[in-house]
A and B are shown apart, each in its own frame.
Chain A
């Protein structure tokens, strides 16, 4: 499943049109986003307490990022001490090579995977297929999406774009001996039956990592379903994949981040499972994987890290609250973006990952309304970062983001240059606004993009400048007469 484009800018407009034209999709997202926002709101009744918690969350992440290279080395050392083997990957290709290499050595063929955005990012499923392995997604949402040859449309709820009737049809068609049912308990029961078999038979389990604790060499996984625990416990080999930014300093940093994550993501006070893995099965233990591997993925992160403003992107704990609160995401859904990470965090991450020439246009799908930044549990200034990337996209100055300046179009640059010369010459400005008011009935109803959905803009008969100037003149005349 490699449905994500390396060039999401291409056909972005077409995907937007498709999404806007799909009533069912819009209804699904509107319902789901409203539901998730309301649940989150209930979890944070006190705005001051929420702000204090977000400040702490941001501080914990900033502190970790400030020591990032040191913490990664400490994490590696502690993991090795615990018996976890650590691998470093510069990019997606190297990560996939490492992972398939480990898998090949086990002699096994069957892979199950717990939900992981890092593995989506590197396209691991395709790499496994190409290497002759079967890799089954085991998170219910991911399973549904994989079976339909789709991509996830939300980072927390991958099948959020689907309604139960379409899932019922899919299961009845694709899973042998399955009657059509729209009963959600039954549908989940069907998935459970299929996936339990897969867990029991799997040779290799893949997982992501929500947080890795440098101090103790511990991998933390947060989930409700138990598929993450299955994938990391039942198969003989467990391979965890994480972006290098996910490391935190110490065990005591975990509670605040965990609390922020579950409440921001799904509005739950807590998830069913918080799974702390600190090593493979010990000789005297009965179960658990015989080997545990950790793959540390860079994939452009160290380049982002060099820029202090862009570095704030790396605070992200992948909760999805920014997309849940984004009015554009709510109306388009995740697929329109064409990227692994959709919504505001995707608009910030993807241009940095793929280059502004390939993903810079994504930053335009934002009204800078600030709802994402307000929801972010670690206070990433997402609107500022989106604006920054717009700047890098059209500017010729230095930026660590590839493809800078590639979004610059001569027509827009000319518009702004003209705009500037009018607005920096007050006389010219007053002349042009005067013209606009005098010719207001003759002005063509432009721009078309505006008038297609709204009544035309009509300048007033007199500008505020002119009104006040006339008032001033009248007053002067008045006082001259009085003297």
Chain B
């Protein structure tokens, strides 16, 4: 990637769009704060991962074509989710093999960044903590950890915050049980998994749950709240980073 990036695409993801728009806005603000122009094509919808993981490849391919055509400028595509970024970077090339858009899919894959990977590795941003001392628990999603290998980026950014004590739950590398449609199709297995994750999250004694994947956040926080209406709040990492480093930190 050229060192003079001045524009990037933002791929908002469907979960953020409907359930966590604040996380999307926070991510955009973090990027704009670094002097970048952020393009958000209104024609974007979803990356196609839900049907793809269910085996409905034709449906996923149709969405992939739309994404490839919508994000066609040769600039980075920033995705505030390890799992959607993984879909664009790792799975589109395989999904589109043999398709007329194969070449474009491969090209698009090279432009995809998970948000914190981009902030940390490409922009190399520095953060100054303006908040009060606090302890947070960070859940790294399986796709951020294994597929995108960006676990250290999120944690490194978080550790720049001087007043924030960062902990990880026991068995941090174990899946929280979300898995997209898995949480619905195998709801009881998923529930058993998230129950263990909740116990590990609670055991850290942290006051906020963070993740850079809204699927996991929705799952773990939903389960925490289901058990206890007083459960610790959950936030997308981007929102937390922005809150701690802008004047209105609390």
| A384–B147 CA distance with the chains assembled, in angstroms | 12
A416 and B189 form a contact (CB under 8 A): no
A453 and B194 form a contact (CB under 8 A): yes
By size class, the interface of chain B is 35 or more
| A414–B147 CA distance with the chains assembled, in angstroms | 30
Chain B nearest CB: distance from A443 CB in Å? 11
Chain A nearest CB: distance from B36 CB in Å? 15
Q: Which residues of A are found within 8 Å of B180, using beta-carbon distances?
A: 368
Name the segment of A247-255, A297-305, A454-462, A474-482 touching the other chain. A454-462
B55 and A391 form a contact (CB under 8 A): yes
If A374-B146, A457-B222, A464-B21 touch, whether A368 touches B53 (CB-CB below 8 Å) is: yes
| A193–B192 CA distance with the chains assembled, in angstroms | 41
A371 and B173 form a contact (CB under 8 A): yes
Q: Does A290 sit within 8 A of B, measured CB to CB?
A: no
Q: Which of B19, B55, B142 is within 8 Å of A395, CB to CB?
A: B55
Q: Which residues of B are found within 8 Å of A172, using beta-carbon distances?
A: none
Q: Does B156 sit within 8 A of A, measured CB to CB?
A: no
| A462–B12 CA distance with the chains assembled, in angstroms | 14
Q: Which residues of B are found within 8 Å of A384, using beta-carbon distances?
A: 94
A412 and B22 form a contact (CB under 8 A): no
Interface secondary structure of A, over-half rule: helix
Interface secondary structure of B, over-half rule: helix
Chain B nearest CB: distance from A312 CB in Å? 13
B194 and A370 form a contact (CB under 8 A): no
Q: Does B24 sit within 8 A of A, measured CB to CB?
A: yes
- Within B132-175, the residues touching A (CB, 8 Å) are 142-143, 146-147, 173-175
B42 and A370 form a contact (CB under 8 A): no
Name the segment of B44-52, B115-123, B200-208 touching the other chain. B44-52
> Chain A: which residue is nearest B41 at the CB level?
A426
Q: Which of B53, B66, B173, B187 is within 8 Å of A452, CB to CB?
A: B187
Q: Which residues of B are found within 8 Å of A369, using beta-carbon distances?
A: 142, 146, 175, 179
Chain B nearest CB: distance from A466 CB in Å? 8
Q: Which of B18, B22, B42 is within 8 Å of A426, CB to CB?
A: B42
If A331-B189, A391-B57, A416-B54 touch, whether A457 touches B183 (CB-CB below 8 Å) is: no
Q: Does B113 sit within 8 A of A, measured CB to CB?
A: no
Chain B nearest CB: distance from A426 CB in Å? 4
Chain B nearest CB: distance from A283 CB in Å? 56
Q: Does B184 sit within 8 A of A, measured CB to CB?
A: yes
If A370-B142, A395-B55 touch, whether A455 touches B226 (CB-CB below 8 Å) is: yes
Chain B nearest CB: distance from A384 CB in Å? 8
> Chain A: which residue is nearest B54 at the CB level?
A390
Chain B nearest CB: distance from A416 CB in Å? 5
Q: Does B1 sit within 8 A of A, measured CB to CB?
A: no
Task: Give 1 or 0 for each of B24-60: 1 = CB within 8 Å of chain A CB.
Answer: 1100100000000000101111101011111111110
| A373–B177 CA distance with the chains assembled, in angstroms | 17
> Chain A: which residue is nearest B178 at the CB level?
A367
Q: Which residues of A are found within 8 Å of B58, using beta-carbon distances?
A: 395
Chain A nearest CB: distance from B45 CB in Å? 4
27 contacts between A and B (CB under 8 A): A16-B186, A327-B177, A327-B193, A328-B193, A364-B185, A367-B190, A369-B175, A370-B147, A371-B142, A371-B146, A391-B56, A394-B55, A395-B57, A423-B14, A423-B45, A423-B63, A424-B63, A433-B18, A449-B187, A450-B184, A454-B222, A454-B223, A454-B225, A455-B226, A459-B18, A465-B12, A465-B42
List residues of A whose CB falls within 8 A of some B CB.
16-17, 20, 26, 327-328, 331-332, 364-371, 373-374, 384, 387, 389-395, 407, 412-413, 416-417, 419-420, 422-424, 426, 429-430, 433, 436-437, 447, 449-450, 452-455, 457-460, 462-465, 467-469
